[in-house]
């Protein structure tokens, strides 16, 4: 492991995940001396359910994906994905450089047949529950066919994780343009309308959080801006709230009174409760934890990976894609 999140986050997260799930076994990949030391500091030790696998290199947040691929063949990231490829692990969870993670996963694991572009999918809270949104930055300039693929993959992930056989699919669009939306989105809408997916039409930015659809599909540039913007708004609101409570003695005291309310609110919008973005379209399970995730958030990402393993998400996506492709050929 490396990147923003080092052993100090991953090790306690791993210990927590193992305590929570007796069926789970984990392999920590990284510098073995560091891992042993940090494990000891957290009163943990390696054993049957928690193995250490040495890797001598680290992919930094600044490394270009191409550089990581070429020159860091013994990085924790590469070695962890190799373990998935070899079948020694069923999933890889990483908080490292997203571009390098995606490139390495594509190179080592390969894509599922029928997938032209993998996508990054995350879960976000909504007024009604939660929503799966993809793509969040694996692709820019997605064509209608790519958006359609994302819809198939997102639909199957939602079906697997939420146990909802026909999740509703919305296509992210805008309502303000003369000729509503752009060409790619309009063509993707056609493809979705003609498919057997539970497509419900366009969703606007505010509809994501209103819970208008179970799955929202968009180009990675748009999705990444959407996600980062949301984080920015929440940070700003929290900062303004803090300032408002700091104003005078009365407001400071009132902060104490509303502490339980604020805790309840925080829990509902806490990105740590939703951490863990899935790299979809690969022949293996890779979950990306947020670069600034703490141990609790990293444990959430591990749980996401466990869910995907239990539901065999890559195989489900593969089957779904085959059905869809057959439908397209027949229809």
Nearest CA among 298, 321, 311 for reference residue 90: 311
Measured at the alpha carbon of residue 224, what is the angle toward residues 121 and 324, in degrees to the nearest 5?
40
Sign of the C-alpha dihedral computed for residues 116, 119, 286 and 195 taken in this order = negative
- Encoded tokens for 298: 């990293």
Nearer Cβ to a copy of itself, position 136 or 161?
136
Per rule CB under 8 A, is residue 6 in the interface with a copy of itself? no
Given the rule CB under 8 A, which of 39-47, 51-59, 151-159, 217-225 is the region that contacts a copy of itself?
217-225
> Which of the stretches 7-15, 147-155, 169-177, 299-307 binds a copy of itself when contact is defined by CB under 8 A?
169-177
Q: Considering only residues 302 through 321, tell me which ones interact with a copy of itself, judged by CB under 8 A.
A: none
Task: Give the number of residues in contact with a copy of itself, rule: CB under 8 A.
Answer: 70
Question: Of the two residues 111 and 226, which places its CB atom closer to a copy of itself in the complex?
Answer: 226
Q: Determine the interface stretch with a copy of itself among 22-30, 81-89, 228-236, 300-308 (rule: CB under 8 A).
A: 228-236
User: Which x/- pattern, by CB under 8 A, does the window 21-60 give for a copy of itself?
Assistant: ----------------------------------------
- The closest of 229, 230, 254 to 242, measured between CA atoms, is 254
The string over 111-148, giving b where at least 16 C-beta atoms fall within 10 Å of a residue's C-beta and e elsewhere, is ebeebebbbbbbbbbbeeebbbbbbbbbbeebbbebbb
Among the listed residues 20, 25, 33, 240, the single contact to a copy of itself using CB under 8 A:
240
Does 111 interact with a copy of itself (rule: CB under 8 A)? no
Burial class (CB in 10 A: 0-12, 13-18, 19+), 305: buried
113 binds a copy of itself (CB under 8 A): no
Name which of 196 and 252 has its Cβ closer to a copy of itself. 252
Write the CB contacts of 324 (distance below 8 Å, at least 6 apart in sequence): 114, 152, 195, 196, 197
Angle at 11 between CA 130 and CA 230, to 5 degrees: 30
Helices of type H across 177-275: 183-193, 205-210, 220-245, 249-257, 259-269
Segment contacting a copy of itself by CB under 8 A, of 16-24, 47-55, 154-162, 256-264: 256-264
Residue 233, judged by CB atoms within 10 A of its CB (0-12, 13-18, 19+), counts as exposed
200 near a copy of itself, rule: CB under 8 A: no
Tell me the window of 8-16, 44-52, 150-158, 172-180 that interacts with a copy of itself (CB under 8 A). Answer: 172-180
Q: Among residues 93 and 203, whose Cβ is nearest to a copy of itself? A: 203
23, 43, 257, 329: residue in contact with a copy of itself (rule CB under 8 A): 257
Query: Which backbone phi and psi does 121 adopt, to 5 degrees?
Result: -125, 130
Q: Where along the sequence are the contacts to a copy of itself (CB under 8 A)? A: 64-66, 98-99, 102-103, 120, 125-127, 136-141, 172, 174-178, 181-183, 204-210, 218, 220-222, 224-237, 239-241, 244-245, 247, 250-251, 254-255, 257-258, 260-262, 264-265, 268-269
């Amino acid at each position: 492991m490396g990147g923003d999140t080092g052993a100090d986050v991953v090790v306690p997260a791993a210990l927590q995940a193992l305590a929570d799930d007796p069926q789970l076994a984990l392999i920590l990949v990284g510098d073995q001396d560091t891992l042993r030391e940090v494990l000891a500091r957290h009163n943990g030790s390696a054993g049957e359910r928690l193995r250490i696998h040495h890797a001598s290199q680290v992919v930094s947040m600044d490394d270009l994906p191409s550089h990581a691929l070429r020159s860091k063949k013994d990085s924790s990231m590469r070695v962890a994905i190799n373990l998935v490829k070899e079948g020694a692990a069923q999933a890889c969870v990483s908080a490292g450089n997203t571009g390098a993670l995606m490139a390495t996963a594509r190179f080592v694991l390969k894509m599922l047949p029928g997938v032209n572009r993998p996508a990054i999918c995350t879960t976000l809270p909504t007024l009604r529950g939660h929503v799966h949104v993809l793509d969040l930055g694996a692709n820019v300039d997605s064509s209608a066919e790519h958006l359609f693929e994302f819809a198939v993959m997102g639909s199957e992930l939602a079906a697997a994780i939420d146990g909802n056989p026909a999740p509703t699919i919305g296509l992210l669009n805008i309502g303000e343009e003369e000729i509503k939306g752009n060409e790619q989105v309009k063509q993707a809408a056609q493809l979705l309308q003609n498919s057997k997916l539970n497509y419900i039409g366009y969703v606007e930015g505010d509809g994501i959080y209103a819970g208008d659809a179970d799955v929202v599909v968009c180009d990675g540039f748009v999705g990444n801006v959407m996600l980062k913007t949301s984080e920015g708004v929440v940070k700003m609101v929290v900062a303004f709230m803090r300032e408002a409570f700091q104003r005078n003695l009365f407001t400071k005291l009132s902060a104490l009174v509303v502490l339980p309310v604020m805790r309840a609110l925080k829990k509902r919008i806490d990105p740590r409760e939703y951490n863990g973005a899935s790299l979809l379209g690969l022949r293996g399970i890779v979950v990306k934890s947020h670069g600034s995730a703490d141990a609790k958030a990293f444990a959430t990402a591990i749980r996401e990976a466990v869910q995907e393993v239990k539901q065999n998400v890559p195989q489900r996506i593969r089957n779904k894609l085959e059905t869809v492709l057959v439908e397209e050929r027949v229809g």
